[in-house]
Chains A and B, each alone.
Chain A
Amino acid sequence: SQKIEQNSEALNIQEGKTATLTCNYTNYSPAYLQWYRQDPGRGPVFLLLIRENEKEKRKERLKVTFDTTLKQSLFHITASQPADSATYLCALDRGSTLGRLYFGRGTQLTVWP
C-alpha cells in the first residue's frame, strides 16, 4: 500500500519567515497530490492540488512543488502569520476514477509572533 511520510510532527517558526513542509511517498506514483489544512476539532480543508506533470503550483502565499523523481512534495507558506498555525496534511491519489485519497499523519505548524 502507499506509504506517506511528512517530515516532522511539529514545526515552529517565527512570524514573517517561510515555512516549508515535506511530504515523501513510496510505492507507486500518484497522478496528483493534495494539501489540506486542519484546525483543532475541525475537518480538513482543501488548499492546493498539483498534478504529476506539474512542477509547481501557487496560490497567494502558498506554493507547492512536486518532484516525481524524488517522490516528494514541498509545501511552502511565505510571510507566515500566527493565523497559519494548524496541522497540514498531504494526500495522494492514484488518479483512478475511484479517487481514493491516502493521507499522511500531518505536520503541526506553529507560527509565533
Chain B
Amino acid sequence: NAGVTQTPKFRILKIGQSMTLQCTQDMNHNYMYWYRQDPGMGLKLIYYSVGAGITDKGEVPNGYNVSRSTTEDFPLRLELAAPSQTSVYFCASSPRGDELYGYTFGSGTRLTVV
C-alpha cells in the first residue's frame, strides 16, 4: 500500500502564481484533509472532505480551493500565491466513522512563495 501520496515534494512559486498540490490515497478512505504547518505552530486545517463531491472549509481556508471528484484524489489549489502561504502542506485521510486507526498523513509538500 502506498498510503497517502503527495506531489510535488518541494516547490518555489512567485507571488501571484497559481499551482495545484496533488494528493491521492489508495486506502478507500472517505475522509480526506488538507493541513498546513508553519514553523513552531500546530497543524491548521485548511479544507476537508467527507466523500466524493463534498468539501468544506476548515480553520484557514482563505486563498485556497479544493475539489473531490473521486474517493482517491483531493487536490488543493492556490490561485494567487502570497508569501503568507509559505508553509509545509500535509494531506491526510481517515476511514469514515472509524477513529481507531487515526489519520494517515502524506509526506508533505514544502512550498515557498517569493
A interface residues, Cβ below 8 angstroms from B? 1, 4, 9, 32, 34, 36, 41-47, 49, 89, 91, 93, 97-106
Contacts and interface: CB of A to CB of B under 8 A. Distances in A.
B42 interface: yes
A9 B94 contact: no
A7 to B, nearest CB: 14
Interface of B: 4, 31, 33, 35, 40-45, 48, 50, 56, 58-59, 90, 92, 94, 96-97, 99-108
B58 A44 contact: no
B100 A49 contact: yes
Contact of A42 (B59, B97, B102, B107): B107
16 contacts: A34-B103, A36-B103, A43-B4, A43-B90, A43-B107, A43-B108, A44-B43, A46-B103, A47-B102, A89-B42, A98-B50, A99-B97, A99-B99, A101-B43, A101-B103, A103-B44
Nearest to A9: B40
B56 to A, nearest CB: 8
B106 A98 contact: no
B87 to A, nearest CB: 14
B3 to A, nearest CB: 9
